[in-house]
Structure 1
């Protein structure tokens, strides 16, 4: 009986040890993978398609795991939950995340792409100026760069946000409502802007010039950023390299993006020809841009508290 018990205990001990070994192996494996969140309409899809980051990180003993997200807020949520390590989003999701006390750090910014962001009206619309938007139904994604753009555009003409009827819709749903005549204007970004211009002959009433820079922002999980400055440096370098490629190979970029985005080549061409891809270090100008967005959203009660955007920015 004693022998049987001893044998049983030895077996259980082996199982426990094996289990610990498996857990350690799994943990080590997880640490050897860099998990990146991306959106199809952002610069990281170019990096993913070129495959150069995989080659660089392999030299450092790491693999790349790509995770696709439909929108920036979901990407930021995954970053804060520790499901991904690094990602790209627009200018507004980091502001909401910071207002919610999420642990993340903003690493760098993209180039301004204001020309592809703007307010669209139907080609036969009676709306010919920003002032004509008074009393109209205007669609845009709540809390997005477009939300900020419409506020600033209205204020530039002495109008208030309350002078329009906001219709909160995602870009895809906004396009449908716009086509069906259910809204009078739509505020959106490329390639949704260019596609609406090309396929509906819509009029771009104004673009983002003077209202928003509409930058990309590259963000990282706080713990990952602290532990892996070397890997982040490699990632940013490869984003810049892929950006240089994109800026100098428009035809190849059109061929790459059209099937991924499922948007016609003419619309893709218009979108990429009015923007520049690249990475900018965080500086006082960019910080000021973000702070103004945060202050505007706080003033409109879109975020619950006033924040200082410098608190989550790594300017090194």
Structure 2
């Protein structure tokens, strides 16, 4: 295993020395974790107790904070209400940076483009992406699906201003979609799997060929600097949990079912479309983050240009 450390994403060579700022192993610490219900690996690490067990020898306890979506989660990270963010879609750090947040990338899940989709009612007259022009579309602002919507529109020569976005949380988006108050809904799993199994819907497109849909685990730069040993354990547990989900999909679905309030078949369907492959954050991923930021800037959805490389990269163990 390589020693963990910090590398500035702007390309400064080498890592930072931890000997001067690492906490004593027996000093109590509470790790405050923010997550969403769709943060599968973190939810499983919580419910199974594997993360608490892994961190106990380091005298680390856990405090869990649930959020409805990624943007408020990273707002909490930025103001110091939490130390670590469970996975958020690739767009969310871009919006956070535009708001002045300082973030550290800890890990990523490799792309899962089939895990988000643009949905319409089964008998909707909308048949192609071009048919979305002028329509009211439910989407969660700043989420990965926000980028999917823009990319999908661009693929047929449309702009975000050519539709009527209704910026809603997943729960409100589902309600608006079910009541017919919107013409389409752009969402991600497990919400996609849930509506597919419970309602008569049709998929206009997934993100395949349009957006990679990577998900990122983040921390405050100070926590990444000062608590390398803690993050190494968090990374290990998340990676092993992802391997366990892929190896035992039925058992994983059974454990997630009561948490998500969905039947196991729906959970399995959702999980099949997620990679759950936890990997280090590489520079190529930051380049993709810059492309996402530029698309949002061009669409007039960010207050200023974002330099996606102006972040901290924590070096995950090899």
TM range (shorter): 0.7 to 0.9
| Counterpart-to-counterpart distance in 1, 2:303 and 2:122 | 38
State whether residues 68 and 169 of structure 2, in contact with CA within 8 Å, keep that contact through their aligned partners in structure 1.
Answer: no
Cα-to-partner distance string for 1:196-249 (whole Å, 9 max, x where unaligned): 111112111110011212222111111111111121111101100111111111
Unaligned 5+ segments in structure 2 are 1-24
Of 56, 59, 81, which residue of structure 2 is paired with 1:58?
Answer: 56
Match of 2:31 among 34, 40, 44: 34
The Cα of 1:188 is off from its aligned counterpart by: 0.6
What is the CA deviation profile of residues 46-67 of structure 1, one whole-angstrom value per residue up to 9, with x for unaligned ones?
A: 1112211212211122222222
SS at match of 1:311: coil
User: Highest CA radius of gyration, 1 or 2?
Assistant: 1
Say which SS state the counterpart of residue 310 (structure 2) adopts.
helix
Q: Which residue of the partner structure matches residue 92 of structure 1?
A: 91
Shift of 1:256: 1.0
In 2, Cα distance between equivalents of 1:102 and 1:164: 29
Q: CA deviation at 1:300?
A: 1.8
Q: Distance in 1 between matches of 2:27 and 2:105?
A: 23
**1:31 Cα deviation from its structure 2 partner:** 5.0
Change in CA separation of 1:187 and 1:77 when aligned onto 2, cut-off 3 Å? same
1:278 Cα offset (Å): 2.1
Alpha-carbon distance, 1:284 to partner: 3.3
Partners of 1:174 and 1:61 in 2: CA distance: 41
Tell me what 1:7 maps to.
none
Three-state SS of the structure 2 residue aligned to 1:66 is strand
CA distance in 1 between partners of 2:27 and 2:302 (Å): 34
- Tell me how far apart the structure 2 counterparts of residues 70 and 137 of structure 1 sit (CA, whole Å): 22
Return the match for 2:81 from 83, 88, 101: 83
- Measure how far apart 1:286 and its partner are: 1.4
Contact kept, 8 Å, 1:282 with 1:313, in 2: the verdict is: no
Conserved in 2, the CA contact under 8 Å of 1:143 and 1:302? no
Alpha carbons 1:121, 1:184 under 8 Å: kept: yes
The answer for the alignment partner of 1:122 in structure 2 is: 121
- For residues 32 and 72 of structure 1, the distance between their equivalents in structure 2, rounded to whole angstroms, comes to 25
The 4+ residue runs of structure 1 with deviation greater than 4 A are 28-31
Structure 1: unaligned runs, 5 residues or longer: 1-27
Offset of 1:313 from its aligned partner? 3.8
Distance 1:315 1:29, change over 3 A: closer
Whether contact under 8 Å (2:71, 2:143) holds in the other structure is no
- State the match for 1:258 in structure 2: 257
Distance 1:30 1:83, change over 3 A: farther
Distance in 2 between the 1:75 and 1:169 partners?
16
Question: Residue in 2 aligned with 1:197?
Answer: 196
Whole-Å Cα distance in 1 between the matches of residues 136 and 76 of structure 2? Answer: 33
- RMSD (Å) for aligned C-alpha atoms: 1.8
Q: Is the 8 A contact 1:239 1:279 kept in 2?
A: yes
Rounded to whole Å, the distance in 2 between the matches of 1:165 and 1:77 is 26
CA displacement at 1:85 relative to structure 2? 1.3
Q: Distance in 1 between matches of 2:296 and 2:252?
A: 35
Correspondences of 1:109-188 after superposition (within 5 Å) = 109-188=108-187
From the two aligned structures, give the one with the greater strand fraction: 2
Count of residue correspondences: 289
> Which has a greater percent of helix?
1
Q: Report how far residue 30 of structure 1 moved.
A: 8.7
Asked if structure 1 preserves the Cα contact closer than 8 Å seen for 2:130 and 2:156, the reply is: yes
Give the corresponding residue for 1:239.
238
